[in-house]
Amino acid sequence: MAVRLSPTLSYYIGRHFLTGFFGLFFVFMLLILMFDTIELMRRAASESHITFPAIVQMALLKLPNMGQQLFPFGALFGAMIVFWRLTRHHELVVTRAAGVSAWQFMLPVLALAFLLGVVKITVYNPFAAALLSRFERIEAAKYEGQASLLAISNSGLWLRQAGDYGQAVVHAKHVLQQADEVELSDVIVFQYHGVSEFKDRIDAAHARLEGGYWLLEDAWISVPEQLPTFEAEYRIPTNLTLEKIQDSFAPPETMSFWDLPDFIQTLERAGFSAVRHRLHWHALLATPLLMCAMVLIAATFTLRQARRGGTTLIVIGGVLTGFAVYLFSDIVFALGLSNSIPVTLSAWTPSGVATLLGIAMMLHLEDG
């Protein structure tokens, strides 16, 4: 007859797992903050207007997003700590002698890991994305400057460009992106002398991005206090490229988990590829499964009574396996971004493979 795991033992195991998870998470966050601050100071060495308090503020704004990468490793190391403690103090032997299987005393840790994954994508991610978005704006203003802004909405594409020729605001209802070309349709361009002095308005049927200029077709040019003039082709200078336009989109990391689906639909409706954002959204959805996979991997390497001197090798094996899963994720994500494999498959494969690997290793450990 199967023995039911007592609530007291579940609480004991779960408490030690959470202690290990949050303790390691805090230590890793401090290390990341230190190294990130040093990197920002290095970049600010030639920028005399950037003060040390501003650097610390930027590092703190960026820190929560970096912390998102730590959740799977926190689950891995936290589970390794609690299972290694059970094994070392022979609590595992006593528990099994009472008729409790490895799957039963793993259940509290798996449940907590899954819950932490859900909290990460529903609560922590929106918080980290909001702070990272603010960090991106401050970084662009202090380190890089910002010559162009781009926004996608239900009304189409809005793009601001600036240069020695002045400023221009470009609006298009539809965008066609093919290979290395961008073509706009139903285009309106507002051109300015300097920052605020209006120059003219141009209405065109189509606009195509060429090397160093926009080529407008069937353009009507309206200048204040003059009659509109028609040009079959009209060129507007620009320093934009397809890569710069794509880079101007809000990175998926700066967008909340809850906002990503609507933004993906808007982006695709405007004619742009949303592969990067869709991949990021599915990767977030797979987080709870990945957390559970890390627990299974940790259990495989630490729920064994190691001989003298073998504990270090077992711990190293678990850590290396966890990092191998992380590297495998990067490779599969790169394949998804290049459209070599479907986005959904790319996002869910690392978590699925790691989970199946952990289950298979646990079944082997428990002798089937």
CA 76 to chain centre: 20
**pLDDT tens for the chain, residues 1 to 368:** 444 667 888 888 899 999 999 999 999 999 999 999 999 999 888 777 788 888 999 999 999 999 999 999 999 999 988 888 887 777 777 777 777 777 887 889 999 999 999 999 999 999 999 999 889 878 877 765 544 556 666 667 788 887 666 788 888 887 776 656 778 888 999 988 876 788 899 999 999 988 888 999 999 999 988 899 999 999 998 877 777 676 666 788 888 999 889 888 877 776 677 888 899 999 999 999 999 999 998 888 887 654 444 567 777 777 788 788 888 998 999 898 888 889 999 999 999 999 998 888 888 876 64
Give the whole-angstrom CA distance, residue 54 versus residue 141.
Answer: 12
Residues 82, 137: Cα–Cα separation, whole Å = 41
The whole-angstrom separation of Cα 62 and Cα 118 is: 21
213-248 core/surface letters (b: 16 or more CB in 10 A; e: else): bbbbbebebeeeeeeeeeeeebebebebeeeebeeb
Q: What pLDDT is recorded for position 368? A: 46
Q: Of all helices (H) and strands (E), which one includes residue 233?
A: strand 229-237
Tokens at residue 364, please?
């082997």
Residue 156 has phi, psi (to 5 degrees) of: 120, -155
- Domain ranges, ordered by start, for the chain: 7-144+271-365, 149-247
Of 191, 160, 155, 159, which is closest to residue 174 (Cα–Cα)?
155
User: Strand 156-163 to strand 149-153: parallel, antiparallel, or no bridges (unpaired)?
Assistant: antiparallel
The H or E element that residue 37 is part of is helix 7-43
> Rounded to whole angstroms, how far apart are CA atoms 236 and 175?
18
- Write down the pLDDT at residue 195: 67
CA distance 67 to 58: 15
Q: Which residues of 184-209 are buried (b: 16+ CB within 10 A; e: fewer)?
A: bbebbbebbeeeeeeebbbebebbeb
The pTM (predicted TM-score) of the whole model is: 0.78
